[in-house]
Every structure is written in C-alpha cells, then in structure tokens.
C-alpha cells in the first residue's frame, strides 16, 4: 500500500497517472468525519424516507462532514485475465480552500476512526487538498479578477507575499546597483514595480534557516518570510503572482521550497510562449495544486472503466461532490449526472445479496466487507469455488497488505479487498448462473465475465433502510418488499377496559370518534412511544412518526417481516396504543397483521424460486472459436431448447454518454476568424468570372485548395494562367488528394505556383518524386489544427460548393474534412459553384455572403472514382474480415480501394452496423438500403453515418444529396483518436504497401518513391486500439503480393527509403487472402511466424531464411 500525502503528492502524481492509464477497473473507498445518522434529528435517515428525501438528507450530511481519506485500488489485468496486479493508494484528504459551510465532525465517527488507527495528525498536516470542477472554476475567476485574498490558502500567506515582494525589489535593485553603480533606494511594498531588467539571475531566501548559503547572488540582509519549507500550493501561488506582475522574468522555487530563483526569461521560452501564455501556464499550475486529488479522480473517470465499491452509495455521492461538481438538487438529476461521469458502477454488496444462498451455505451470514474479505481469502473458499480463480499480486508501488493484521477502515485496504472479492464473486456468479455447465477449466478475461453478469447487477447501489431494492442509476429504483407501515391509534381509557371484547370496544370507539373525534397524538405522546418501542425491540430497527394525514394516527415502520410481526404482537396487547387495519381503520389483531407479513414473505420466496428456476435453465457457456485470430464469443445456450444457440460478441459495458456534436467539438476550441454558417449582414453573393475572382491574389499568397472529388479545377487552371500573365511568384497551394490537371507543376512551368501536398493523389505522384511538388507528412486529424493554430497562415481558400438555397446557404458537399477549418481561417474565400455538387448535412453549410467571389460553372463535374474489378484475393480478404472480425452492431471505418469494396460486399448478412469514418464510397449505399447499416447502436451520433468526405461514383453523390442519414464533420473531430475510442466495437480497416516481419507498416511509398501520405490510417488504427469498450479491432489488410510485379508485400525488411506510417506497436490484425495474423502482444519471433503463415506460399521459404538472417533465430509460434 502506498501512502500518498501532501508532501509527496507531486512526486507520486506521474506514477498514479501511469497506473491509472493501464487499469482494468478501479475499486474505491472513502472514510468520513461523520455520517447522516450523526446529523440533527430532521436529517437522520428513517424507514419512512422516499429516495428523494433520503438523497436530500445525505446531501446535507456530505456538505457538513468532509471526507478524511480516499482509498484507490487500481487493478490491471495480465495475461488475458490469468492474473491481476493491484496498486493500492491511501490519500488523506484535507481541503485547503475556504469553506462556505462549517467544518464539522461527529464524535462517534472520530471515535470510530481513532479505534481503527486513523492518523489525525497526518490528516491535518499531510492531507491533500481537493476541489470539484465548479469550485476550481470559481477560484480561477476570483484569481483573474485580482480580488483574491491569498490567506484563503494558508493563514498569513498574503502578508508573507508582501514581504517577499519587498525582498525581491531590494534584491533586484542591489543587482542593478552593483552592475551599473546606481544609487540604492530603500524599497517598500509600493515600490514593487514591473519592468525590472535584471543584469544576472538572483536567488532570494524564503526560509529562515540561520545557515549561510554559499552564493554571491543571495542577499543575506533580507528577512525571509517563512520559518518552514513551502508547501506545493504556496510555491504555485508565488510563481503565479510574481510571473503575473513581471511577465518578462522567470520565477521558480527550489525543490526543497527554500529558495526563489529569478532570471530573465530564456530565449527558447519566449519563442514558444507569449507573455499571456506564460502567465496562463503558471495559473494552470496553481489551479492544479488547488484541484489536488481531483486531478487523479478526473483521470480515473476519463478512463470510463468500471468503478467498484462496497455499500458505496455514500462514496459515490462524496465522489461527485468533492471531485466532480456540486451535487444536483434532485435525486434523479444526481443519478443522471453520476451515470454520465461513471458509466459502469459495481457494488460488491449487491453481488453478495444475489449470492446469498451460496454464501450462507458456507457460513457467510452477513455481507460486510470484513466478513466477505475474510471468507474469500480463507482456505474454505475452495468449497464454494470449485474452480481456480486469478492470482492477485501487489504492484511495485504497494506492499502486500493481507496477513499483516487487521486494517479494515483504512480506505486503501478496504478498496483493495473490495476489488479482490469483486473478481472472485464475478467467477462465482457466472458459475452459479451457468448451473455448473460453463467451461471454467481455465481463467477468463474480465470483459467476458462482466458481459455474462452485468445485466444482473451493474449500476445498482444499495441504499440502506429504504423501501427500494437499490439505487438503479440508469432508471427508476425498483420497489422493495418491506412490510407495510403499521397504523396505530390511542386507546381510550374506559373504566371497563379489559371487560369488553375487542369488537365491542371498537364499536364504542367508532361512536365516540364520530361525536368528539379521534384522540390526537401529541409530541408528549410520540417521545415516550418511540423510546418504549426502541427499548422493547432492542436491535430490531423501527421508526415512529405522527401521520401527516391525521393527527390521531401514528405510523410505525419496520424493515423486515420478523420485526413487523414482533412489533404487531407487542402493540396488539398494549394498554394505550392499538394497531389499525390500513383499509378500514378498524382494530386489527397481531395475527391478522402477521398473516399479511407472511403472505409477503411467501410472495418474495416465490419470486426467488422463479429466478432460481430461470437460472437453472440458462447456461452461460464461454467458448472460443477454433480460429485463433478471432476474439472469443459468449454463447447463451438455453437448456431444453438445444437448437437455439445465440452468439453474442464479447463487450465491455456500453458507454451511456451520448455526446452531442457541440459538446464534442468543445474539445477543439480554436479562435476562428469567422463562423461561415452565419450570414454577413447586408452582403449578398458576388458572382463573377474566374479572372475577376482571382484579381486580388498576390505574389507570396498562401492558398488552401479543397481536394478529392471537390477539387476546384476552374480556379486552379485560372490561377496558373494569371500567374503566368501577371508574373506572380511564390504562391503556395496547400491541399490533400488533388484531382484534375495541375499545369503549374508540369515540366517547363514558370514555378510561380507550387503545391504543398498534405496527402498525395490524382496525378501529382510523379511531380512530387521529381521535385516539382512538396510533400508534408502529417496525420489527417492534425491538418485542421494546423490551420486553426496558424501554423500555415492562409491568405485565401479555393473551394467547390453547391448553389445557394433560398436562404443563401451553400454546401461544401462531398468534402468537409479540413475544408471547413480552412474557410473559417482564410481572410479571402473564393468558390466554384456548380449544380453537380450534392448538398450534404452536418457541418457543410457556408453562407454565400462569406464568399469574396463565386464563379458559377454548372458544366463543371465534380470528380468520380473509377471503380476497378475486385480480384479473387480481395474477395477472400473481404470474406475473412467479415466472417471473423466484424460482429453485428460494430462501428466501421474503411478507406477507398478494392479491399474495402470487397469487405463492404461481404457484410451483406450482418446487422445493425454503424459508420464513423473519414471517408465513404459506393459500398455503403447498398448496405444502407438493405438495413445492414442502421447506425442504431452507435454511442455517438446514433442513426447517422458520420464521415468527413466522400469519393465515389455519381450514384453515391446522388444518394448523398439532401440525405439526412449522413453527417459530414471536420477531421479534427472525426479523426480524433479520443472520439474514435468512444465508438462501439470500433473496426478500422486500412491497406498497406509493405509490412516487415516485425509489423512495421509502410503505406505511403514504395522505397523512396512516394505514393500517398499518412491520411487517417494512424488516427483510426490507434483510436480503435484504445477503444473504451475494449472491443476495437485495428485491421491492416492487403493482398499478399503486388498485382503487377508479383513481389511479396510481407518482407523481411522494408525497402530502403520506405517510410513507416503505422508503427509495429500499433499493429494488431493483419489480413491477406491466406489468413489472419493477430500481432498484438506477440514478440518479434512470433510475429514473423504469424506473418509468414499468411504470406504467399511462393515466398514463405525465402522469408524464413531472411528472417533467420535478420533475427538470428527461426520464426516460431511458441
């Protein structure tokens, strides 16, 4: 177990992030300084509470009693679930920000913590601060406003800052005086000025140590403000305050927090940062210190992996309030917000309740964490687990914590135990659910176990003492089976009490009630009644209150049928209280009340029996396909209906957050020159000739050019003519995949215009290899960012658009990709307008008022793809991918070419496929028409085909025209690996030119000869490999040999000069017509074996020899 505290938090921070980024799931636990039961009477939870009431009481308690310790256990899966490594971190929490509410604690909670060896000194002196997102943002605003009193961070910090400013002013003046022999002037706080020019760096002592520091630059006459080393928060405050006041200077504090170093900003820093950016970086550092532990929790939540707790309702409420945001006012809003931040939550107490029978048979009668932890770590656990389960070992940051004594109620220890029993209970539940028929002879991946069980207990959290089975985060809480509330009234004290039978007494009471009314319960009645019942019932939980509907009726709530029967029996013989039937308001005997309770018990037993019977008929058989290259599947086999076998692809919990386009684009906040989808007031389209449109183009202009199908050829040819006519020089064109003639790069041209290709295509391959066109290697997702960040400051943009509609809106049509970023950043916008451009939906709208010039040319046809004939190799590849690697409901990305075409054709029998890709071609049309592609199950933009550009035949373009099924977006979003990772079962299929035996992919060149570019291959390969659901499949596919030369595309070494586009670490699946190789996690010798196995038979022997020469050993599968 690792102790992370305030003094070492920043040292531990990188290790925490590294461990979190590899986690399969997190287990958490929190310790608190008080519980809701410790609050004032009106906030104490009772059996009468509804969910909303209980939530509001807990919110008040959470805001009253702060947490004092956070325990995080990070479980990392090893060897496909064969073992787990766990790192446990104990973090004391002490908020070092101003509290708007009173800091409170309860004596019972403090006593409990003390009895469990909680270190209160560490809590106060070494507790790490925290703040939720809203509090951090409020602090940012307060700091930027300049009105903050820094005493909110540390008592006396504002005064110390003033002393330090005086010391700095004195040290700076001394340095200047010594270098220039100027007269020394006594400084004061008012003389603290900006614009000081230091002749050399200076050091200022911060801590009164009494020791002389051996450096000429330290002024020993100054009085250091601190008597102890500075905290990380104080360091961050000083660096921000002084940097904000002196933006041309660098301020940094020594690691031990005793010295302040001041110097002029280095030249390299000035090159990379503006003064505002430099101050902003210091502010971000300060806000990180203010956030403290919240930075860790945010990183955990961003992983979207399961979070596991035990009896964790209060933990989740604290987690949201302390580290995410202020708690919502309503219970349902909190559930929705929690589900958004934590899409998959498991509670081991819920699982234990479902395993109650199996546990009780082995002597486990209560489901406390201590009892469950002891049982699952004991030797007797083998009696209930007739199979092996994964080993769990401590990671390098932690020490083994079982067997060194009792440490329960240390949050890290509790979290570690929670995660450990979670894994074992998953196995037990899956085994029980399969009625012993599942194949548990070997260990299983966590995601398979979760998939088999998650519908029964995921996102369910127990709420104690409430008439609901549990808190169900995705929807309405299911009602429980608690006994009805007992309604009681006061007996009248008749002189003949005890002489009349019950029925006669009731008749007399009814008559008197009609005349003078029912006797009222007063506060003086309720207090002794509550006390009496609690004394008589002992440990049995009961609550009493006066009815809101009638002052003569009191309500008694119980939580179990046994308690209900006991209370009913007692009250039936009570001298001044008698129970009433809820429906008739008549007296009821305890036998009648008990009968109702027994009926409820029978009803609950029947439900359990039906569930057990259903479970006996349902077998969960976890099997693997014979093909080693295909992921395992889960087969649900219903006993008695042996002919029904349903194959369900393995999956992690589906992300619940369906992010809107606007919130997703918030990830890419850049300052745009304009928003082209909004009209410019009092400006209409300016339709002119090509020559008129180009009249303002000058020498040295940097021009973006739309590419692919929408290449604006009329403008480009016109630009070449104008450049020759006007002798324009140094014009650079920036584009991807340009089609059509490019006379400016032909041999013998004047050279006034030069292309900078961001991706090669069309007819420019020869020109770039002969030096007449420049090539920029860049990921497609970065092209738009390059324009937004003005790495290439554009002067104009040339695009092709559709004619404006009745409101003046044109459409970018087939190409939004990086076009939209360019048109928003280029000062001048020039377009070719043609009726042959389809109008597409999404981010393709540009209002005609934004164009400086529009050239109307309906004779101009946008470019179409020439469809080739698919060979047998491509068809076989398509079948292998479709039949082995693509499950129903997958989200697809494919490029253009014969292999994608063959794969689309082979997917005709699939269901509910979705599309999130950078480009589409004709293959999607038939699958959409046949309901193979429905986009129904996508996690983002469900119901929509998401793409950035289209390139195909006229049939595709006509299908796109005004078709709301398609959403065109910029590549900065479509190709963002983080967005790609969100997609459900993301399948990325891309082609290659060569692959060497280690897995290095060359896709853009043949040796030194360039063919294309990086494009979106790496974006999608990486994005699918880090998919949040763990089911993404990055696939590289190509025929085993070159069609023309017959050379093998699988080689021992890439050709000299060939570029690596996709690294060997990113490569997972490789497909040729001879099979599938899964290289992920394989060593180089094994990779060579797998790749040679799918190479063309004519080349395998040669490849084995060359592999031996390169590796010094033979390729092998072991």
pLDDT tens-digit map of 910-950: 999 999 999 999 999 999 999 999 999 998 899 999 999 99
Question: Phi and psi (nearest 5°) for 1037?
Answer: -135, 140
So where are the chain's domains? 2-130+295-468, 141-289, 486-601, 668-856, 872-1111
Given this chain, do its domains 2-130+295-468 and 668-856 carry the same CATH topology?
no
What is the Cα Rg of the chain in Å?
A: 36
pLDDT at site 567: 85
Residue 322 in contact with residue 130, Cβ under 8 Å? yes
pLDDT at site 568: 82
pLDDT at site 532: 83
- CATH code of 2-130+295-468, in short, is 3.30.420.10
Residue 142 in contact with residue 151, Cβ under 8 Å? no
CB atoms within 10 A of CB 1112: 8
pLDDT tens-digit map of 871-886: 899 999 999 999 999 9
Handedness of CA 76, 79, 80, 81 (dihedral sign): negative
Q: Could you give the CA distance from residue 996 to residue 1054 in angstroms, rounded to a whole number?
A: 6
Beta bridge partners of 193: none
Q: Is 377 exposed, middle or buried (0-12, 13-18, 19+ CB in 10 A)?
A: middle
Q: Could you give the CA distance from residue 381 to residue 391 in angstroms, rounded to a whole number?
A: 14
User: Could you list the active site residues?
Assistant: 918
Q: Could you give the CA distance from residue 398 to residue 963 in angstroms, rounded to a whole number?
A: 57
Residue 570 in contact with residue 536, Cβ under 8 Å? yes
pLDDT at site 981: 93
Residue 245 in contact with residue 275, Cβ under 8 Å? no
**Positions of the chain with pLDDT lower than 50, given as ranges:** 99-101, 182-193, 211-221, 400-406, 495-501, 582-587, 598-601, 603-605, 607-669
> Which one of 1.10.10.10, 3.30.450.20, 3.40.1080.10, 3.40.50.720 gives the CATH number of domain 668-856?
3.40.1080.10
Give me the torsion for CA of 694, 695, 696, 699, rounded to 10°.
80
Q: Is 767 exposed, middle or buried (0-12, 13-18, 19+ CB in 10 A)?
A: buried
CB atoms within 10 A of CB 241: 19
In the three-class reduction of DSSP (H, G, I as helix; E, B as strand; rest coil), residue 138 is classed as: helix
Fold of the 872-1111 domain:
Glutaconate Coenzyme A-transferase (3.40.1080)
pLDDT at site 612: 40
Beta bridge partners of 74: 26, 87
> Which of 761, 753, 816 is closest to 783 using CA atoms?
816
């Amino acid at each position: 177990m690792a102790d992370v505290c305030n003094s070492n938090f920043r040292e531990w921070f990188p290790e925490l992030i590294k461990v979190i980024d590899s986690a399969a799931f997190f287990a958490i636990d929190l310790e608190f300084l008080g519980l809701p039961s410790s609050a004032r009477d009106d906030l104490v939870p009772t059996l009468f509470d509804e969910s909303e009431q209980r939530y509001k009481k807990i919110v008040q308690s959470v805001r009253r009693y702060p947490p004092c310790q956070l325990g995080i256990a990070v479980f990392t899966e090893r060897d496909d679930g064969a073992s787990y490594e766990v790192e446990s971190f104990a973090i004391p929490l002490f908020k070092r920000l101003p509290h708007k509410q009173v800091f409170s604690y309860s004596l019972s909670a403090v006593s409990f913590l003390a009895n469990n060896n909680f270190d209160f000194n560490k809590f106060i002196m070494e507790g790490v601060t925290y703040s939720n997102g809203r509090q951090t943002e409020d602090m940012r605003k307060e700091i930027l406003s300049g009105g903050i009193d820094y005493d909110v961070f540390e008592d006396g910090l504002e005064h110390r800052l003033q002393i330090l400013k005086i010391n700095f002013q004195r040290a700076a003046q001394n340095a200047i005086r010594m270098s220039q022999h100027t007269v020394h002037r006594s400084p004061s706080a008012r003389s603290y000025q900006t614009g000081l020019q230091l002749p050399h760096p200076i050091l200022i002592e911060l801590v009164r140590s009494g020791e002389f520091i051996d450096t000429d630059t330290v002024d020993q006459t100054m009085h250091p403000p601190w008597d102890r080393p500075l905290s990380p928060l104080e360091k961050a405050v000083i660096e921000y305050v002084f940097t904000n006041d002196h933006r041309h200077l660098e301020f940094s504090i020594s690691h031990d927090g005793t010295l302040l170093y001041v110097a002029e900003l280095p030249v390299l820093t000035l090159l990379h940062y503006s003064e505002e950016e430099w101050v902003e970086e210091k502010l971000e550092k300060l806000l990180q210190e203010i956030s403290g532990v919240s930075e860790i929790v945010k990183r955990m939540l961003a992983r979207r992996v399961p979070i596991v707790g035990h009896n964790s309702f209060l933990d989740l409420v604290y987690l949201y309030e302390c580290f995410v945001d202020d708690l919502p006012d309503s219970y349902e809003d909190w559930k929705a917000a929690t589900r958004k931040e934590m899409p998959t939550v498991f509670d081991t107490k819920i699982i234990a309740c479902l395993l109650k029978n199996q546990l009780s048979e082995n002597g486990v009668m209560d489901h406390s964490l201590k009892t469950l932890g002891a049982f699952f770590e004991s030797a007797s656990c083998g009696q209930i687990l007739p199979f092996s389960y994964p080993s769990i070992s401590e990671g390098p940051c932690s020490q083994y914590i079982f067997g060194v004594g009792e440490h329960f109620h240390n949050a890290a220890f509790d979290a570690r135990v929670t995660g450990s029993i979670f894994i074992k209970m998953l196995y037990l539940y899956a085994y029980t659910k399969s009625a012993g028929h599942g194949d548990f002879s070997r260990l299983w991946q966590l995601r398979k176990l979760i998939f088999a069980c998650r519908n029964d207990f995921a996102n369910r959290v127990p709420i104690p003492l409430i008439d609901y089975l549990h808190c169900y985060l995705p929807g309405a809480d299911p009602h429980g089976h608690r006994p009805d509330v007992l309604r009681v009234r006061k007996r009248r004290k008749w002189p003949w009490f005890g002489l009349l039978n019950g029925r006669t007494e009731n008749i007399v009471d009814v008559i008197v009630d009609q005349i003078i009314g029912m006797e009222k319960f007063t506060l003086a009645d309720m207090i002794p009644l509550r006390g009496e019942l609690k004394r008589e019932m002992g440990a049995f939980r009961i609550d009493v209150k006066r009815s809101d509907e009638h002052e003569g009726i009191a309500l008694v709530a119980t939580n179990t049928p046994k308690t209900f029967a006991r209370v009913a029996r007692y009250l039936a013989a009570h001298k001044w209280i008698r129970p009433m039937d809820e429906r008739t308001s008549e007296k009821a005997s305890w036998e009648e009340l008990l009968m109702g309770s027994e009926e409820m018990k029978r009803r609950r037993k029947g439900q359990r029996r039906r569930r057990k019977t259903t479970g006996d008929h349902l077998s969960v058989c976890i099997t693997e396909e014979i093909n080693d290259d295909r992921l395992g599947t889960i087969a649900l086999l219903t006993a008695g209906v042996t002919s029904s076998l349903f194959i369900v692809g393995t999956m992690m919990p589906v992300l619940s957050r369906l992010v809107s386009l606007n919130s997703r684009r918030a990830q890419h906040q850049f300052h745009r020159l304009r928003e082209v989808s909004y009209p410019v007031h009092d400006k209409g389209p300016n339709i002119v000739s090509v020559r008129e449109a180009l009249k303002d183009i000058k020498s040295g202009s940097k021009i973006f050019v739309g590419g692919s199908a929408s290449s604006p050829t009329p403008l480009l040819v016109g630009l070449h003519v104008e450049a020759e006519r006007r002798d324009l020089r140094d014009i650079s064109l920036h584009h991807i995949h340009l089609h059509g003639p490019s006379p400016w790069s032909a041999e013998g041209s004047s050279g006034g215009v030069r292309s900078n290709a961001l991706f090669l295509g069309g007819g420019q391959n020869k020109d770039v290899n002969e030096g007449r066109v420049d090539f920029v290697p860049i990921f497609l997702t970065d092209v738009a960012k390059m324009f937004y960040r003005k790495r290439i400051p554009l002067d104009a943009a040339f695009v092709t658009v559709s004619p404006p509609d009745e409101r003046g809106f044109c459409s970018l049509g087939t190409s939004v990709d990086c076009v939209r970023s360019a048109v928003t950043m280029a000062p001048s916008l020039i377009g070719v307008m043609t009726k042959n451009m389809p109008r597409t939906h999404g981010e393709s709208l540009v209002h005609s008022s934004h164009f400086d010039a529009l050239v109307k040319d309906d004779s101009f046809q946008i470019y179409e793809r020439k469809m080739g004939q698919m060979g047998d190799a491509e068809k076989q590849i398509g079948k292998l991918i479709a039949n082995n690697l693509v499950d129903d409901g997958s989200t697809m990305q494919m490029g253009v070419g014969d292999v994608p075409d063959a794969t689309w054709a082979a997917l005709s029998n699939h269901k509910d496929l979705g599309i999130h890709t950078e480009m589409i071609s004709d293959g999607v049309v038939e699958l959409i028409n046949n309901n193979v592609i429905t986009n129904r199950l996508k996690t983002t933009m469900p119901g929509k085909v998401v793409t950035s550009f289209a390139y195909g035949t006229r049939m595709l373009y006509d299908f796109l025209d005004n078709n709301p099924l398609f959403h065109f977006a910029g590549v900065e979003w479509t190709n963002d690996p983080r967005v790609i990772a969100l997609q459900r079962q993301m399948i990325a299929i891309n082609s290659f030119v060569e692959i060497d035996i280690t897995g290095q992919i060359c896709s853009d060149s043949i040796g030194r000869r360039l063919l294309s570019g990086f494009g979106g291959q790496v974006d999608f390969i990486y994005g699918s490999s880090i998919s949040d659901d763990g089911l993404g499949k990055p696939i590289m596919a190509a025929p085993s040999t070159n069609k023309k030369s017959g050379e093998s595309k699988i080689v021992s070494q890439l050709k000299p000069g060939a570029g690596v586009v996709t690294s060997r670490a990113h490569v997972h699946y490789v497909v040729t017509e001879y099979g599938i190789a899964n290289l992920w996690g394989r060593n180089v010798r094994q990779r060579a074996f797998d790749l040679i196995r799918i190479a063309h038979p004519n080349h395998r022997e040669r490849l084995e020899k060359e592999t031996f020469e390169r590796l010094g050993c033979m390729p092998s599968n072991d």
